[in-house]
């Protein structure tokens, strides 16, 4: 008797997981892409281009947008058996590479923006002088 109830519980949980992957991932894609696009539009405006912290957040938004697109697009497709990363090994490895590198780079860029804000508000004038756009661009290019 318990094996049939266990089997029905497993089937119900499997169905719930499929439905979540199918429909919730669509909302993540929409809101993630829209949010990162708005960030990119706002942070690339002329008054913010000379701010090193805005530069780092701009690069972070680009990296996180790539991470969202690389990771979440295959989720709803896999529930309809249309995910090419299951059949094509190159696409599977490319997706994993883009996902993990983009999310890691985005996190590091946010950490560098935190350090930049600390430098720009420091009491020591020598440390404040290290908060420059040139240093932010060098830090960004070293991560990429």
pLDDT digit string, tens, across residues 66-123: 998 887 777 667 666 766 667 778 878 888 898 899 999 999 999 999 999 999 898 9
Q: Structure tokens of 77?
A: 């497709």
Distances (CA, A) of 109 to 45, 47, 52, 53: 19, 20, 11, 9
The pLDDT of residue 35 is 93
The pLDDT of residue 64 is 92
The least confident of 3-7, 53-57, 97-101 is: 3-7
CATH at 13: 1.20.1070.10
What gap in Å lies between CA 58 and CA 81, rounded to an integer? 35
Residue scoring higher pLDDT (71 or 61): 61
What gap in Å lies between CA 127 and CA 140, rounded to an integer? 19
What gap in Å lies between CA 38 and CA 48, rounded to an integer? 14
Q: Structure tokens of 122?
A: 């420091």
Total domain count, the chain: 1
Distances (CA, A) of 49 to 56, 100, 140: 10, 28, 14
The model's confidence at residue 43, banded by pLDDT at 50, 70 and 90, is very high
- DSSP annotation of 132 reads -
Instruction: Give residue 3's domain range.
Output: 1-143
Residue scoring higher pLDDT (4 or 27): 27
């Amino acid at each position: 008797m318990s094996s049939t109830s266990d089997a029905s519980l497993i089937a119900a949980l499997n169905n719930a997981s499929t439905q979540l992957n199918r429909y919730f991932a669509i909302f993540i894609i929409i809101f993630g892409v829209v949010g990162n696009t708005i960030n990119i539009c706002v942070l690339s405006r002329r008054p913010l281009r000379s701010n090193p912290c805005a530069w780092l957040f701009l690069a972070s938004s680009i990296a996180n947008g790539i991470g969202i697109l690389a990771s979440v697009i295959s989720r709803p497709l896999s529930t309809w058996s249309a995910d090419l990363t299951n059949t094509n090994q190159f696409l599977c490895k490319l997706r994993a590479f883009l996902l993990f590198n983009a999310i890691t780079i985005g996190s590091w860029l946010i950490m560098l923006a935190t350090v930049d804000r600390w430098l720009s508000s420091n009491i020591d004038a020598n440390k404040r002088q290290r908060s420059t756009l040139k240093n932010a661009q060098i830090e960004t290019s070293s991560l990429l």
